[in-house]
Amino acid sequence: MQKFAAGAWSAVLPAVVLCASLNAPVLAQDDRSVIASPDGRLSAEFWSENGLPRYRVLYDGEDVISASSLGLRFVVAGSLDRDLEIVGESRASQDLTWELPWGERRVVRDHHNELLVSYRHEEEAERGFDIRVRVFDEGLGFRYEVPVPGGEHRAIVDEVTSFAMPQQATTWWTQAADYNRYEYITRTTPLIDVETAHTPFTARLPDGGVHVAIHEAALVDYSGMRLDQQREGVLTAELAPGPDGVAVHKDGDFITPWRTIQVAEDAVGLINSDLILNLNEPNVLGDVSWVEPGKYVGIWWGMHIGTMSWGSGPIHGATTENAIEYLDFAADNGFSGVLVEGWNIGWDGDWFSNGALFSFTQPYPDFDIEAVTDHARERGVRLIGHHETSGHLTNYENQMEDAFALYERLGVTQVKTGYVADAGDLIRLDEQGEERREWHYGQYAVNHHIRVLETAARHHISINAHEPVKDTGLRRTYPNWISREGARGQEFNAWGVPPNPPEHISMLAFTRMLAGPMDFTPGIFNLTFSGPDSPNRVQTTLAKQLALYVVIYSPIQMAADLPENYAINPDAFQFIRDVPTDWENSVALQGEVGDFVVTARQERGGTDWFLGAVTDEEARTLSVPLDFLESGRRYRADIYSDGEGAHWHDDPYPVSIEHREVNAQDVLELDLAAGGGTAIRFAALDG
């Protein structure tokens, strides 16, 4: 499927030129403001070097981020990147817990030390910024807090924040500023070979194996940060510009998103962290009991493999008849929803170029939306709504109030949105009705998503955005932001050139997934839908598709395949029926970036545990102690593993299903085939 045409990287800004060498002599410790984590292992230092604001991060006394720059540049005079000195500091500490309404765990601990460092201009005392840094045991975040006297306007063209690391660090990253938004295969290179990268950006330092992930938290009313290697070994924040070349417009005092640096002594330590959520503001929506985790099926995969169409015609997928069949399948198998794409006027013709033509309230004549939602109500399931905007933000904003009101009246509580358009090619009409182009992660798009969330929330609707802005933990503040895409999902296996490689999931777990939930849409059972020799196939075993429900966190999980493919494999399908999507607790047990990962999660409000293990193209045997289980309890382990001869390429289908009694003292040996995986349900037994 030709979904995207190549696009141009417009409005490129001049490269930042640092004014002093980053290798300048280190100042005496006394001149620095220093703050350490509660356990004392991680620390950050802030100072001014010949007027240039600087910081550094250390773990066990060794540099993680060596001397790096701070600062903001504006279009007109008044930039905050030089002639700054530290004029004061204040400190605070916090240790508390708070609850996620849904999530990979219920209770989150926020334990950090905080430092506020005030940098002011050497001659103009009112000019400057404060850096607020919060240091947790598993990483830190800092942000700029900028007082702007008189509420004046500031036009930010550049953020000078940089992250200096050893050039030989191993890094895992996807290219940024390129047409396919966040949807690229993860690269493994030494730092020196990084070009412009998205975050989360993951690295392993050369000695000792310390893992680092750079990202951001609470991206609100600002432009998303890409990392650009402007000098060898120094990644610099690069903000996506608006159509006027300015990255961020601000009036009066402002704060930036948090720049986050996770640090862990092993790879899974990056996953077992709540840093990003802790740096976001609490829920602003009040009672969110209407936000419902769940599993869903959909009129969807058929379009991606070409057996159905979004637009009208002989193979139109979104017919009343098909929807009723899917609703019945959902109800019979314990799913809570059915996604229906292609239900509304606008898909005919070249839909990815015709965003202005979409109606979000008018169904196609062969889709009787009232009959469909009546049937859903009778069967105790819900229709899941779909709004593909094709990147026309204004067309969507003009209709979204009516669109959400319609869905609310029909009992729809979740809507999948879509922004299929080349990066940098979102369309908005300005006050004069002129077309302006925006990045998916520019300030305008960032604010657009919040407007959608707020409008949806008034109608008790949750949003699952595809082709979104990256996740920065805003689900804490807006719990109706229930999931999103923002990486190569399952759909790439239908038509991607190439499809997702066997190592894809072991990459996502340590990169994209550090940001938050992903609507990957697992569960393809017919892995060779175009024949085993076609390049379009899923490059995993069937057992690995089951493991994805545990390894990839999302409060909504799709069973993405066609119902008929589940009907012929009911035994393996049982795992998808059993696995929940909301968790009391989660722990990544073992793994290496790009190689393998083993994750265990406890059902929220229940006693069952689930385990998912996936490997890359290498077969491997993993020894997994079950000490995460409640001690003294007995469990029936339903083990779905790669069967005899399984191999992602040669024979992906054999699944062996075994039931055993286990307890917390046991150690399981998991045999993963090449491109394979294991999925386990631990059902607690009485007594």
- Annotated catalytic sites, by residue? 491
Q: Let me know the angle formed at the C-alpha of 167 by 226 and 73, rounded to the nearest 5 degrees.
A: 35
CB of 336 to ligand NOJ, least distance (A): 19
Q: Which 449-478 positions form the footprint of ligand NOJ (CB under 6 A)?
A: 466
Identify what 608 binds: Ca ion, ligand NOJ, none; CB under 5 to 8 Å per kind: none
Nearer to ligand NOJ, 300 or 441 (CB): 300
CB of 4 to ligand NOJ, least distance (A): 10
C-alpha R_g of the chain = 25
Q: Cβ of 571: how many Cβ atoms within 10 Å?
A: 9
Nearer to ligand NOJ, 273 or 414 (CB): 414
Question: 326: buried, middle or exposed (CB in 10 Å: 19+, 13-18, 0-12)?
Answer: buried
Amino acid at 332: D
Q: Considering the rule CB under 6 A, would residue 440 count as an interface residue with ligand NOJ? A: no
Ramachandran area for residue 531 (φ above 0: left; ψ -120 to 50: alpha; else beta): left
- Do 578 and 601 form a contact (C-beta atoms < 8 A)? no
Contact string (CB under 6 A) for ligand NOJ, positions 480-499, x = contact? -----x-----x--------
Identify what 154 binds: Ca ion, ligand NOJ, none; CB under 5 to 8 Å per kind: none
For 529-536, the CB contacts below 8 A with 24+ separation are 529/305, 529/494, 530/305, 535/497, 535/498, 535/499, 536/305, 536/493, 536/494, 536/495, 536/496, 536/499
Nearer to ligand NOJ, 1 or 107 (CB): 1
CB of 553 to ligand NOJ, least distance (A): 18
Among 257, 418, 516, 555, binds ligand NOJ (CB under 6 A): 418
Q: Considering the rule CB under 6 A, would residue 388 count as an interface residue with ligand NOJ? A: yes
Nearer to ligand NOJ, 55 or 300 (CB): 300
Identify what 418 binds: Ca ion, ligand NOJ, none; CB under 5 to 8 Å per kind: ligand NOJ
CB of 437 to ligand NOJ, least distance (A): 19
Instruction: Work out whether the CA dihedral 186, 273, 517, 485 comes out positive or negative.
Output: negative
Q: Considering the rule CB under 6 A, would residue 387 count as an interface residue with ligand NOJ? A: no
- Residue where the block lists tokens 């050139």: 497
Calculated CA dihedral for residues 426, 466, 518, 212, nearest 10 degrees = -10
Three-class SS string for 406-461? Answer: HHHHCCCCEEEEECCCCCCCEEEECCCCCEEEECCCCHHHHHHHHHHHHHHHHCCC
End-to-end CA distance of the chain: 54
Number of chain residues interacting with Ca ion (CB under 5 A): 1
Q: Which 333-362 positions form the footprint of ligand NOJ (CB under 6 A)?
A: 341
Q: Considering the rule CB under 6 A, would residue 138 count as an interface residue with ligand NOJ? A: no
- Residue where the block lists tokens 């799709």: 558
Instruction: Work out whether the CA dihedral 366, 370, 372, 373 comes out positive or negative.
Output: positive
- Residue where the block lists tokens 């992250």: 163
CB of 344 to ligand NOJ, least distance (A): 11
Q: Let me know the angle formed at the C-alpha of 404 by 402 and 408, rounded to the nearest 5 degrees.
A: 115
Identify what 216 binds: Ca ion, ligand NOJ, none; CB under 5 to 8 Å per kind: none
Nearer to ligand NOJ, 422 or 485 (CB): 485
Identify what 341 binds: ligand NOJ, Ca ion, none; CB under 5 to 8 Å per kind: ligand NOJ
Task: Identify the DSSP state of 376.
Answer: H
Among 18, 26, 148, 420, binds ligand NOJ (CB under 6 A): 420
CB of 550 to ligand NOJ, least distance (A): 22
Interface stretch with Ca ion, choices 4-12, 207-215, 253-261, 464-472 (CB under 5 A): 464-472
CB of 387 to ligand NOJ, least distance (A): 9
Which residues of the shown chain bind Ca ion in the complex (CB under 5 A)? 466
Which residues of the shown chain bind ligand NOJ in the complex (CB under 6 A)? 300, 341, 388, 418, 420, 466, 485, 491
